[in-house]
Amino acid sequence: VEHIERGFPQLPSGCQIILEGKAKKLILDNIRTQLAATVATLVKEVREYSTPLLADYLRESRREIKELYKNGNSWTLLLRRAGRATEPAPPGEEPLLKRVHAFLHVDDPERAQAYLRILADDAPPYEELDKTTQAYARMLFFNLWDNAGSFTSFTEGLAALRPQHALRDELRQVLSYVIDQADHVPIPLSGALGAVPMKVHSSYNRSEILAGLGIARFGGQMPRSFTQGVQWAEEFQTDTLLVTLEKDEKDFSPTVRYKDYAVSPNLFHWESQNAISPESPTGMRYQRHASRGTQVLLFVRRYSVTDTGKSQPWMLLGPATYVKHTGSKPMAITWHLDHALPADVWSYSAAIQAS
């Protein structure tokens, strides 16, 4: 795999192998299929390697971290099956370990550091955290318990993590590893959105988005019950638009297969829900949000699920400003993005229009 990806750098002088792009991808896909990691294979490797540390194993095995988190697996569960974990599992550990995959996308240092502080052995209780860290704590909480579990407060939920030593250790290792793989520069939100604990061009899953915007809360809506692609965040006076670019017919019926794509690095074409007309209260709010002092945040993901079978997170494209619209029910709105799309996102989101 490494030689193919790098263009066969160790061939003898005067020798060259040139693969056409599609052929290269096909060969790599076939090789990776043959090397696919089953639980038995992973356990065997973990038993043979000399380290119980996740980063060391990934470096020695040359596996991608996502391979470990398919089908409900986790690093701790693999260590236990390989006989390399000596500490017994505390009650309630296994369901929490199955949620570790929900942290693989964390790609902004501030969130990672906040999560690490909250997961530390000497972390203070929720009520003693500063306001910003409390916001991150709510995001972490709903990432682990997207229906709030049996808890009645964030203090109670985070306190339940204290005896979960293996879980917290695994999460710390995962966060430390994935933040080094981040490939976009996060940009802080400012102005009326300055208190939102999210960064432009960073990725967030549904639980983090709803918690960060104050929508998910005790006594209110739970992330697990959220299915729509738009949401009004009262606390921040913000319309939240969640866009999936490539809409698979298995997941999206024809009535909700809206045409969403980038027109340019700073312009984005988006279609509202079918019930929204320009004269409706929501339609008017979209058009007049700037004069009314409300905000619009646009989140985009390419696919609905990742190749691990889990829901793909959304990238926050940042604040957007109404430019124009056409049509009704749905409205086709063009938004101007405060921050230009990263080159890779522009490439695949513009391709949607061409297709």
pLDDT one-digit tens code per residue, 255-277:
555 789 999 999 999 999 999 99
pLDDT of residue 41: 87
Q: What stretch of H or E contains 297?
A: strand 295-301
Query: Based on the number of CB atoms within 10 Å of its own CB, is 319 exposed (0-12), middle (13-18) or buried (19 or more)?
Result: buried
* Count of other CB atoms within 10 angstroms of residue 3: 11
pLDDT of residue 61: 87
C-alpha span between 260 and 270 (Å, rounded): 5
Query: How confident is residue 333, by pLDDT bands cut at 50, 70 and 90?
Result: very high
C-alpha span between 110 and 241 (Å, rounded): 23
Pairing between β-strand 332-337 and β-strand 230-233 as defined by DSSP bridges: unpaired
With vertex at residue 299, the alpha carbon angle to CA 136 and CA 155, rounded to the nearest 5 degrees, is 20
- Beta strands in 163-218, from DSSP E residues, in sequence order: 187-188, 199-200, 203-204
Is the per-residue pLDDT at 38 higher than 90?
no
Taking all residues of the chain, what is their mean pLDDT, rounded to a whole number? 91
Query: Based on the number of CB atoms within 10 Å of its own CB, is 213 exposed (0-12), middle (13-18) or buried (19 or more)?
Result: buried
Percent of the chain with pLDDT over 90: 68
Structure tokens given for 89: 């599992």
DSSP character at residue 225: G
Query: How confident is residue 308, by pLDDT bands cut at 50, 70 and 90?
Result: confident
Q: Give CA 240 to chain center in angstroms.
A: 16
* Count of other CB atoms within 10 angstroms of residue 69: 22
**Domains in the chain: ranges and CATH:** 1-35 (no CATH), 227-354 (2.30.280)
Query: pTM for this structure?
Result: 0.86
pLDDT of residue 8: 81
Per residue in 156-203, pLDDT tens?
999 999 999 999 999 999 999 999 999 899 999 999 999 999 999 999
